[in-house]
């Protein structure tokens, strides 16, 4: 599936210290419905069949429901709202979005308790609203996929958070290592744990998902750190497509991640996962270096190909001739 990510506005009713959008909240307004429709039309002509409305907080946009209807009228099959989930606490609002044509709800939850979640969101009451919103979405039969940002404050809580997701009945959950841009960069000294410290808790959390039959992923954690969990690498399933940001349009977010946003070092060429792996966000080795990342030797086994969703080696989506192997290496 080709999917467009449209950031429809940068207002937000949370004040997360890890927000990748940073100061856009103060200097960037909402997109007009006309511009949103133009983005939808452009991407549809380029082959997109899915759209994610995000921000900022998209549920604060007064024309979100109209934008959803416009997407469905253009023939979009998948329509997701990526959100902090707080407005989903209102059942009638969830119903309105469903009737407009939303197929997936993407709320965020960053801790298994109100104290931890609200420490990160800096918004009293946001835990109760987000959890209530998840329950409302499930009552309506909507597909719910959650995202949680991994930080120094919550990484030890990941197994409990995974258990909460299973209890709430979400269809999919993902743990994304904090991207150190925007507000997160300003708070990097207190937000960013070493990935080696995160791994034991992250793997236990993924085990919870696996054992319950719930789809579970982790993003920005390279393959070399996830032996036996290759099927949980989110990058292998993120749909390709454009991003419409505040004042620019990226033709391929996948190419941006691989060639600009994330990084590998020369030693990575020796790793069996080199062609598939995107590496960490490049800010991470700038902060902690490369010592945690060790190239995995040897060729893929049949089990690894199956776990990574590769099938036969010849079917690898990143094999020569199917995508040019662009890569910028840091000095």
Over residues 26-35, the pLDDT tens digits come to 667 799 999 9
Residue 327 has pLDDT above 70, yes or no: no
Query: What are the two backbone dihedrals, phi and then psi, of residue 101, each rounded to the nearest 5 degrees?
Result: 125, 10
Residue 207 has pLDDT above 60, yes or no: yes
| pLDDT for residue 306 | 65
Residue 323 has pLDDT above 60, yes or no: no
What digits encode the pLDDT tens for the residues 210-219?
Answer: 999 999 999 9
Please tell me which of 67-76, 240-249, 290-299 the model is most confident about, judged by mean pLDDT.
Answer: 67-76
pLDDT-based confidence at residue 303 (cuts at 50, 70, 90): low
Q: What average pLDDT does the segment 126-147 reach? A: 98
pTM of the model: 0.89
Determine which of 22-26, 162-166, 179-183, 325-329 has the lowest per-residue pLDDT on average.
325-329
Residue 317 has pLDDT above 80, yes or no: no
If DSSP codes are grouped into helix, strand and coil, which group holds residue 62? coil
The mean pLDDT value of the chain amounts to 90
More confidently predicted of 29 and 202: 202
Q: Which helix (H) or strand (E) holds 241?
A: none
The CATH class for the domain spanning 3-264 reads: alpha beta
If DSSP codes are grouped into helix, strand and coil, which group holds residue 295? coil
Q: Sign of dihedral through CA atoms 218, 220, 223, 226?
A: negative
| pLDDT for residue 248 | 86
Q: Which residues lie closer than 8 Å to 207 by C-beta, 6 or more apart?
A: none
Q: What average pLDDT does the segment 176-202 reach? A: 94
Rounded CA-CA distance 251/243 in Å is: 7
| pLDDT for residue 315 | 27
CA 185, 190, 196 angle in degrees (round to 5)?
95
Q: Which helix (H) or strand (E) holds 116?
A: helix 114-121
Q: What average pLDDT does the segment 263-279 reach? A: 96
pLDDT-based confidence at residue 299 (cuts at 50, 70, 90): confident
Contact (CB, 8 A) for 108 and 85: yes
Rounded CA-CA distance 113/5 in Å is: 30
Contact (CB, 8 A) for 117 and 126: yes
Rounded CA-CA distance 5/283 in Å is: 23
């Amino acid at each position: 599936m080709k999917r467009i990510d449209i950031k429809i506005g940068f207002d937000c009713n949370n004040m997360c210290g890890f927000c990748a959008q940073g100061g856009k909240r103060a200097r960037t307004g909402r997109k007009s419905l006309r511009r949103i429709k133009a983005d939808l039309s452009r991407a549809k002509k380029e082959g997109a069949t899915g759209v994610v409305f995000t921000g900022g907080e998209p549920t604060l946009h007064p024309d979100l429901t109209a934008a959803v209807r416009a997407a469905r009228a253009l023939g979009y099959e998948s329509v997701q709202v990526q959100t902090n989930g707080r407005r989903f606490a209102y059942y009638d609002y969830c119903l309105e979005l469903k009737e407009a044509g939303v197929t997936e709800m993407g709320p965020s939850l960053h801790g298994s308790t109100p104290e931890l979640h609200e420490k990160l969101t800096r918004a009293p009451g946001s835990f109760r609203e987000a959890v209530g919103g998840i329950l409302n979405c499930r009552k309506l039969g909507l597909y719910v996929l959650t995202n949680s940002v991994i930080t120094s404050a919550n990484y030890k809580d990941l197994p409990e958070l995974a258990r909460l997701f299973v209890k709430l009945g979400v269809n999919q959950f993902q743990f994304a290592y904090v991207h150190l841009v925007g507000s997160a960069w300003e708070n990097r000294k207190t937000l960013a744990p070493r990935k080696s410290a995160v791994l034991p808790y992250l793997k236990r959390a993924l085990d919870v998902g696996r054992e319950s039959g719930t789809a579970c992923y982790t993003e920005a954690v390279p393959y070399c750190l996830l032996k036996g969990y290759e099927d949980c690498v989110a990058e292998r399933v993120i749909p390709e497509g454009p991003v419409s940001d505040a004042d620019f349009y990226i033709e391929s977010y996948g190419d941006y991640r691989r060639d600009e946003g994330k990084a590998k070092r020369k030693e990575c060429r020796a790793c069996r996962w080199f062609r598939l792996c995107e590496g960490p966000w490049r800010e991470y080795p700038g902060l902690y270096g490369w010592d945690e990342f060790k190239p995995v030797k040897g060729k893929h086994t049949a089990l690894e190909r199956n776990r990574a969703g590769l099938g036969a080696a010849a079917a690898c989506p990143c094999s020569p001739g199917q995508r040019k192997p662009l890569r910028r290496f840091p000095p």
